[in-house]
Structure 1
Amino acid sequence: MSNTLATLTHWLDPTTLMAVLSDHPIALICIIGIVSLLESLAIIGLLVPGVVILTAGASLAGHLALPLPLLLISGAMGAIIGDGISFWLGIRYRDQLHGRWPFSRHPEWLEHGQQFFHRHGSWSIAFGRFVGPVRPIIPLVAGMLDMPPAKFFLVNGLSALAWSPAYLLPGYLLGQTWQSLFTLPEGADGLLVGVASGLIFCAFAFSFLRRQLGREGRLYHWLAHRLRKTSSGRRLWWQLRHPDPEGEFPLASMALLVFAVISVPAMSLGALAHPAPWWIDRVAASLAKSVAALFPEGLLTQASLVLSRVADGTGLTMLVIPWLAWLLITRRHAIWLHLMAGWVGIACANTLLKYLIQRPRPDTPAFLEGSMSFPSAHTAGAVAVFGLAAAFIAERQPSSHRRWIYWGAIALCTLIGLSRITLGVHYLSDILGGACLGLLGCALVRISYPAFARQSSALSGNPTPLLLLSACSLLLLAARLLWLPL
């Protein structure tokens, strides 16, 4: 067993993967073709983060100086075959698609595809290839609506020849030129590949779980059925759905809780056992210095300082004060108490972990004298505030809109975490530990709140007060950035 795990770890190591792909360039070209096929395939293209994978793969191909024509041909052929399979499926199952999963649960996907096809005719095959939400649906619809195969494959082939360079060439050129812009520190190749692979995996897992653990997901219904078979499960289901029986059971939050409960102790024990900077910490710090050298002197540092001020205790307080006051005035006591308990609990847990682990900072400015490094309080606070805000805002939004709210919060928290590395006051592992701690607080609040809430939605109602509150938060934050010291 130990030998198997060692072998698996060896092959999953980013440096090993890069070495293998360097020795077998045809494998990378085939991977690009397969991903292009999946990106164009009906339904699967909606789930696979193809653009991210193609950009990363093309960048790696440029870095390895693989032949560009072969790369473009592979991408075009994959797109042609993927669309061709979707077209055949539309012809073969035209009368059954509306009753088959996932169209039985999401009939709007076919409706949007049909509207797009009727609006643009044969050109929809070419236009749709560049329009994300309908890209994997249009060939299926074309087959359903009896588009002549000769016309389909003509437009399909010509559009794929334009699509391939549009999607692959930027990444390829980036992979060829980044080394001329700055020199990567030793080990950064492996870290970048590992981070890119992790982001791709997380994006795919997040997209899949967001759909499946939502109220319309199959996994949601299967787990709900299993949970309600036992008396304890029925009691838990009733408590977390009461007093809103039509609301969602927080399965996604429970999955997040399991992840956080495992990751927070694991990372804390790792930092306690090895307080010195880890390999990824050293490489990330060196990489941050190399990136900073690309910008005018002090520009990246100033931008990082602004982000840090947004996410310090004073900045986050400025953001949440109007909302907490409004919740009290409107007597939304349940959410007020949960938010306060979550944020205060994270602050206390962060302080306790810093005291117990005692990891020194990579650099300690005068205003941080005596403050420890692990975990990052800025990151934990940002994840708790922006993560909970995204969750409550997305709560009653259509499923198609939720992802943009969540990804916006993720992007902001990521920038705040990276700003701490750029300033040299935290290691990468500190940022990851803080993020996990913030997610733990978010999960606990989202699981507990439905059992005590009296409103169907914490932020439902007239949007005007919400816009005014957002404006007040931004004004207070601007005042903090302009007048209050760090």
Structure 2
Amino acid sequence: MTAIAARTTTDGGAAPQWVNDLMDTLGAPGAGIAIALENLFPPLPSEVILPLAGFAVGSGRMGLLAVLLWTTAGSVVGALALYGVGALLGRDRTVAIAARLPLVKVADIEKTEAWFLRHGTKAVFFGRMIPIFRSLISVPAGVERMPLPVFLGLTTLGSAIWNTAFVLAGYALGDNWAQVTSVVSAYSKIVLAVAVVAVLAFVGVRLLRRPGPGRRGRGGRGHAA
């Protein structure tokens, strides 16, 4: 797989060198380990790792089935680790932490909890196909103690779809596999922008609804009178 490492580094560092080294040394299991780490550390680029693995398949350096199985297993292992973090954190600790955050109310957590109880299965499945959230969605699933067989089934299916799409894209594009990265990078930026706007809107609404000193003062004088 040395040829892969040489190509990715000369193309402006599209793939981190350690990913090349891992796949060069271990083959398909190395791709699985890289994807497991990507789930635990979202900034790691799955949109680079998977097409690169697909390119390796097209070059005859890995088997397609082995890559799909190992990368999906890596996704499940990483998601399971974050599920464990959420389970250890638990609902009571989550509520206690949220109560200490500025502008966040316990009622917000309760509403989120109610939403997750209604739509958690869809969130876990479709969340596997949304950058950033594909990793983070495992934490509330653990907090709410989603049944483990359900969580594993949804995670496996959603991750298999995501991984297969990118591996096959890298396989089909061959030497141009890095084109996948630019497309998904734009998608990721849109998702991140939407998330930032949502957070800013939430903060803005809370600040506008917060009673100011003048309102409290008038209320206090009225009560005294």
TM bin (shorter chain): 0.5 to 0.7
What CA deviation, in whole Å up to 9, does each residue of 1:349-401 have, x standing for no partner?
xxxxxxxxxxxxxxxxxxxxxxxxxxxxxxxxxxxxxxxxxxxxxxxx99936
What CA deviation, in whole Å up to 9, does each residue of 1:67-91 have, x standing for no partner?
1001101110001111111111111
Q: Which has the higher contact order (CA 8 A, sep 6+)?
A: 2
Question: Shift of residue 122 of structure 1?
Answer: 1.7
Could you tell me which amino acid in structure 1 is paired with residue 37 of structure 2?
L
Question: Shift of residue 52 of structure 1?
Answer: 2.8
Q: Determine the structure 1 residue equivalent to 2:172.
A: 173
Q: How many residues align?
A: 168
Q: Does residue 91 in structure 1 map to residue 87 in structure 2?
A: yes
Aligned mates of 2:29, 2:144 — CA distance in 1: 32
Could you tell me which amino acid in structure 1 is paired with residue 66 of structure 2?
L
Aligned mates of 2:93, 2:130 — CA distance in 1: 25
Could you tell me which amino acid in structure 1 is paired with residue 58 of structure 2?
G
Question: Shift of residue 138 of structure 1?
Answer: 1.4
Distance 1:151 1:66, change over 3 A: same
Aligned mates of 1:34, 1:91 — CA distance in 2: 23
Q: Would you say the 8 A contact 1:40–1:136 is kept in 2? A: yes
Name structure 1 gaps, 5 residues minimum: 1-12, 180-191, 208-396, 402-486
SS at match of 1:96: helix
Q: Would you say the 8 A contact 1:126–1:156 is kept in 2? A: yes
Distance 1:49 1:178, change over 3 A: closer
Could you tell me which amino acid in structure 2 is paired with residue 66 of structure 1?
M
Aligned mates of 1:131, 1:399 — CA distance in 2: 12
Name structure 2 gaps, 5 residues minimum: 11-19, 198-225
Q: Determine the structure 2 residue equivalent to 1:322.
A: none
CA RMSD of aligned residues (A): 4.3
The structure 2 residue matched to 1:75, chosen from 71, 78, 90, is 71
Q: Determine the structure 1 residue equivalent to 2:6.
A: 14
Aligned mates of 1:167, 1:90 — CA distance in 2: 28
Give the alignment of 1:288-327 within 5 angstroms.
none
Question: Shift of residue 39 of structure 1?
Answer: 2.9
The structure 2 residue matched to 1:54, chosen from 50, 60, 75, is 50
Q: Determine the structure 1 residue equivalent to 2:14.
A: none
What CA deviation, in whole Å up to 9, does each residue of 1:244-279 have, x standing for no partner?
xxxxxxxxxxxxxxxxxxxxxxxxxxxxxxxxxxxx
Q: Determine the structure 2 residue equivalent to 1:314.
A: none
Question: Shift of residue 156 of structure 1?
Answer: 2.2
Give the alignment of 1:57-456 within 5 angstroms.
57-94=53-90, 95-97=92-94, 117-118=116-117, 120-175=119-174, 400=196
Question: Shift of residue 116 of structure 1?
Answer: 6.5
What CA deviation, in whole Å up to 9, does each residue of 1:336-358 have, x standing for no partner?
xxxxxxxxxxxxxxxxxxxxxxx
What CA deviation, in whole Å up to 9, does each residue of 1:29-51 have, x standing for no partner?
2332123213333xx22x22322
Aligned mates of 1:99, 1:124 — CA distance in 2: 24
SS at match of 1:30: helix
Q: Would you say the 8 A contact 1:37–1:82 is kept in 2? A: yes
Q: Would you say the 8 A contact 2:38–2:44 is kept in 1? A: yes
Distance 1:398 1:71, change over 3 A: closer
Aligned mates of 1:115, 1:155 — CA distance in 2: 20
Question: Shift of residue 135 of structure 1?
Answer: 1.4
Could you tell me which amino acid in structure 2 is paired with residue 77 of structure 1?
A
Q: Would you say the 8 A contact 1:25–1:66 is kept in 2? A: no
Q: Would you say the 8 A contact 1:37–1:80 is kept in 2? A: yes
Could you tell me which amino acid in structure 1 is paired with residue 88 of structure 2?
R
Distance 1:178 1:86, change over 3 A: closer
The higher radius of gyration belongs to 1
Q: Would you say the 8 A contact 2:50–2:163 is kept in 1? A: no
Give the alignment of 1:9-48 within 5 angstroms.
14=6, 27-41=26-40, 44-45=41-42, 47-48=43-44
Could you tell me which amino acid in structure 2 is paired with residue 400 of structure 1?
V
Q: Which has the higher helix share?
A: 2
Could you tell me which amino acid in structure 2 is paired with residue 62 of structure 1?
G
SS at match of 2:116: helix
Identity of aligned residues (%): 23
Distance 1:147 1:398, change over 3 A: closer
SS at match of 1:135: helix
Question: Shift of residue 104 of structure 1?
Answer: 6.1
Distance 1:56 1:99, change over 3 A: farther
